Amino acid sequence: MPAKYDVIIIGAGAAGLMCAATAGYRGRRVLVIDHANKAGKKILMSGGGRCNFTNLNSTPANFLSANPHFCISALKRYTPQHFLELVERHGIEHEEKAAGQLFCRESSKDILNLLLTECEWAGAEVRLKTSVTGVRETTGGYEVRTGGGVLECGSLVVACGGLSIPTLGATGFGYELARQFDLEVLPTRAGLVPFTLHPELKDQLAPLSGISCPVDVHCNSEHFREPMLVTHRGLSGPSMLQISSFWHPGDELQIDLLPGEDAKQALMHLRKDKPQSSVGHYLNNHLPKRFAQAFNDLQGWQGPLQGYRNSDIEQVGQTLNRWTIKPAGTEGYRTAEVTLGGVDTRQLSSKTMAVNDRPNLFFIGEVVDVTGHLGGHNFQWAWASGIAAGNEA
Ligand code: FDA
C-alpha cells in the first residue's frame, strides 16, 4: 500500500518549506520531497552567503509577470513585516543594507535553519535525495512515483523553482508537470543575470575589470540607478542584473555614467573656468580613479579642454551620460538568480495558488510567472505564495 499524506510538496526550497510548515501547523500530514542532497541550496547561496531574505519596501510594482495583478493578494496577506517578525522570533540577527533590503548578519544558514525548525515544529517531514519520476491524478488526489516508492496525497504542491543554476538542483520538472495538467507555461528566460559582450568591446573594457561605479542604466522604458561592475566576462553589478530582466536579445543599453550630472554643461563651464583642464581631470573627480583613467583612454580623449569645440564637448557629454552598448547576450541560466516566465498565473487562484479547475493542485514560488526585482523581493514572493498555498492545501 502506498504511504498516504494529506499534502505532498515537490521542492524543499524557500517556497516549499514555507508551505510545508504552514500546512503542518494546520494539522495536515505533510511530506516535502527534493532530489537534492540538501534542502534550500539557493537560500544558502543567496545574498553572498547572507541571504537578502526580504525587502521592507516590497510592493507589487517590484514584480514582473504577464498578469501583474496576480501577486497582489498573496503579497498583501503575507508582508515583509510578517517574515521579519518570524526572523526575530528565531533570534536571527539581521541588518538593512541598501534601503529596505534585509540580510542576515551572520549567515544564510540561519534562514534555512528557521524554515527547517518550523517544519519540524509543525510535524512536516522533509525527504531529500528522492527524485519524482511521475505524477498521476487519482480519485482522491494524486499518486506520486518516486525513486523510493509510490506515495499518495490529497493535495499536491509544485515548488520546484525555475531553471536558474542547474548545479544547485534546478530542473524544468515543474513546467513539465504544469503541461501534463494542460496548463500554459509562458516562455522562460534568465533574469537578474550578468551581460556578456562582443569580443571587441570585451577586450576594450578588460582594463576596467573588477571596478564598480554607480550608474543609471536604461532599457525598454525601465531604468535602475545602482552600481555597475565590469567583469572579465562582461557587465554585472546590481544595475546590470536588474535591467537584464527587461532586456531582450538585440536591445541596446543606455548607461549614464554620471547620474544626476549634466556632463556637457559641466565640461562647458570647466573649459571656460580652467581651459587647461582635461576630460581626464574631470572624470577623475567624478568616477573611481582607475575607471576614469581606463574609460578616458578607451575613448581617446586627450589634450586640454580649450582645444575642444562645442560639438566635441557635446559628443563627450553624450558618451558620459548616454553610453550606448549592445550586449552579446547574458550568462544565461548558469548564473542567473531567477527565471522569468513560467506557469501562467491566469490559470491559478491568486488567493490560494491552486489551479482554477483542480483545487488540490498548487504551484508556488519561482515556477510561477512572477519574478521580483533584485533586493529580497524573490524570497518575499516565495514566502507569500508558500503561505497562501499552505493555508489551503
Ligand atoms: P528553489 O529553487 O529555491 O527550490 C526549488 C527546489 O526544488 C530545489 O531545492 C530543487 O532541488 C528542487 N527540485 C527541482 N526539481 C526537482 C525535481 N524534479 N524533483 C525534486 N525536487 C526538485 N532572492 C532574494 O530574494 N534574495 C537573495 O538574496 C537572492 N539571492 C540569490 C542568489 C543566487 C545565487 C540565486 C541563484 C538566487 C537568489 N535569489 C535571491 C532568488 C531566490 O533564491 C529564488 O527566487 C528562490 O529560491 C525561489 O524559491 P523556490 O522555492 O520557488 O525555488
CB of 384 within 6 A of ligand 1: the answer is no
Decide whether 3-190+334-390 matches 195-330 in CATH topology. no
Q: Please tell me the distance from the alpha carbon of residue 102 to that of residue 80, in angstroms, as a whole number.
A: 10
Q: Residue 69 class from Cβ within 10 Å (0-12 exposed, 13-18 middle, 19+ buried)?
A: exposed
Distance between CA 7 and CA 159 in Å, rounded?
Answer: 12
The domains of the chain are located at 3-190+334-390, 195-330
CA of residue 356 to ligand 1 center, whole Å: 25
CB environment 149-186: b (16+ within 10 A), e (fewer): eebbbbbbbbbbbbbbbeeebbbbbbbebbeebebebb
What cell was used for 77? 496577506
pLDDT digits (tens, 9 = 90+) for 317-330: 999 999 999 999 99
Has the ipTM of the complex gone over 0.95?
A: yes
Going by alpha carbons, the residue nearest to atom 4 of ligand 1 is: 13
Ligand 1 mutation target, pool 103, 163, 242, 378, most atoms within 8 A of CB: 378
- Fill in the DSSP letter of residue 149: E
What would the grid cell of residue 278 be?
Answer: 582635461
- CATH superfamily for 3-190+334-390 is FAD/NAD(P)-binding domain (3.50.50.60)
How far is Cα 124 from Cα 33, in angstroms, rounded to an integer? 11
Does 164 contact ligand 1 (Cβ within 6 A)?
Answer: yes
For residue 2, what pLDDT band results from cuts at 50, 70 and 90? confident
Domain at 195-330, CATH from 2.40.33.10, 3.40.50.300, 3.30.465.10, 2.40.30.10: 2.40.30.10
pLDDT of res. 1 = 77
Distances (CA, A) of 140 to 174, 181, 277: 21, 16, 80
Among the listed ranges 82-91, 149-158, 284-293, which one has the minimum average pLDDT value? 284-293
171 in contact with ligand 1, CB cutoff 6 A: yes
Rounded distance, CA 270 to CA 185, Å? 56
Q: Hey, how many other C-beta atoms are within 10 angstroms of the C-beta on 284?
A: 15
Backbone φ/ψ region at 96: left (φ over 0), alpha (ψ -120 to 50), beta: beta
* Residue 14 Cα to ligand 1 middle (Å): 7
The secondary structure of 200-267 as a DSSP string is HHHHHHGGGTT-EEEEEEEETTEEEEEEEEE-SSEEESHHHHHHHTT--TT--EEEESSTT--HHHHH
- Please report the pLDDT score of residue 104 as a whole number: 98
Predicted confidence (pLDDT) per residue in 27-52, tens digit = 999 999 999 999 999 999 999 999 99
**Cα–Cα distance measured from residue 17 to residue 364, given in angstroms and rounded to the nearest whole number:** 11
Residue range 346-368, pLDDT digits in tens: 999 999 999 999 999 999 999 99
Residues pairing with 52 in the sheet: 103
15 Cα: distance to centroid of ligand 1 (angstroms): 8
* Helix and strand counts by DSSP (H, E) for the chain: 13, 22
In this prediction, residues 56-60 reach a mean pLDDT of 97
Please tell me the predicted confidence (pLDDT) of residue 98: 87
First and final CA of the chain: distance in angstroms? 23
In the numeric block, which cell numbers belong to residue 223? Answer: 531604468
